[in-house]
Chain A
Amino acid sequence: MNDRNNENLKDLFERFLSAEQADEAVKDVVEGERILREYPAPEPDKELIADIQSKVAARLLRRRVDVFRKVARRAVAIAAAIIILAVVSVRLFEIGGDRSGGVAYASAIPRALWESDDIAADDMELAVFTAEVRQIEAEVLTLQLGENGRNGERVVVELEIRFVEIQSDFWKE
Chain B
Amino acid sequence: MTKSNDLAQIIVGCKNGDAECFSQVVDIYASRCYGYFCRLTGNKDVSDDLLSQLFVKLAERIGSYKGGSFEGWLFKIASNIFHDYLRGKHRQKKLLDVRKRQLGSDITGLRREESELVDKLQRAIGRLDAETRELIMLRFYSQLSFKEIAKMRSEPIGTALSRLHRGLKKLRMLMEES
A-B pairs with CB below 8 Å: how many? 126
The answer to whether B26 touches A56, judged by C-beta atoms less than 8 angstroms apart, is yes
Interface size class of B (residues with CB under 8 A): 35 or more
Contacts A57-B19, A60-B19 hold; do A16 and B162 have CB atoms under 8 A apart?
A: yes
The answer to whether A49 touches B26, judged by C-beta atoms less than 8 angstroms apart, is yes
The reply to whether the CB of A153 lies closer than 8 angstroms to some CB of chain B is no
CA A57 to CA B14, docked complex, whole Å: 11
The answer to whether B145 touches A42, judged by C-beta atoms less than 8 angstroms apart, is no
The reply to whether the CB of B78 lies closer than 8 angstroms to some CB of chain A is no
The reply to whether the CB of A28 lies closer than 8 angstroms to some CB of chain B is yes
The answer to whether A32 touches B158, judged by C-beta atoms less than 8 angstroms apart, is no
Interface size class of A (residues with CB under 8 A): 35 or more
Given contacts A39-B121, A56-B22, 11 further A-B contacts (CB under 8 A): A2-B72, A7-B146, A12-B161, A25-B161, A29-B165, A32-B171, A36-B121, A36-B136, A41-B38, A48-B52, A52-B26
Residues of chain A whose beta carbon lies under 8 Å from any beta carbon of chain B? 1-4, 6-7, 12-13, 15-16, 25, 28-29, 31-33, 35-36, 38-45, 48-49, 51-53, 55-57, 59-60, 63-64
Residues of chain B whose beta carbon lies under 8 Å from any beta carbon of chain A? 4, 7, 17, 19, 22-23, 26-27, 30-31, 34-36, 38-39, 44, 47-48, 51-52, 55-56, 58-60, 69-72, 117, 119-121, 136, 140, 143-148, 157-158, 161-162, 164-165, 167-169, 171-172, 175
Q: List 28 A-B contacts (CB under 8 A).
A: A1-B4, A1-B70, A2-B144, A2-B145, A4-B148, A12-B146, A13-B165, A16-B161, A16-B162, A28-B169, A35-B171, A39-B120, A39-B121, A41-B38, A41-B39, A42-B34, A43-B34, A44-B31, A44-B34, A48-B48, A49-B30, A51-B52, A52-B26, A56-B19, A56-B22, A60-B19, A60-B22, A60-B59
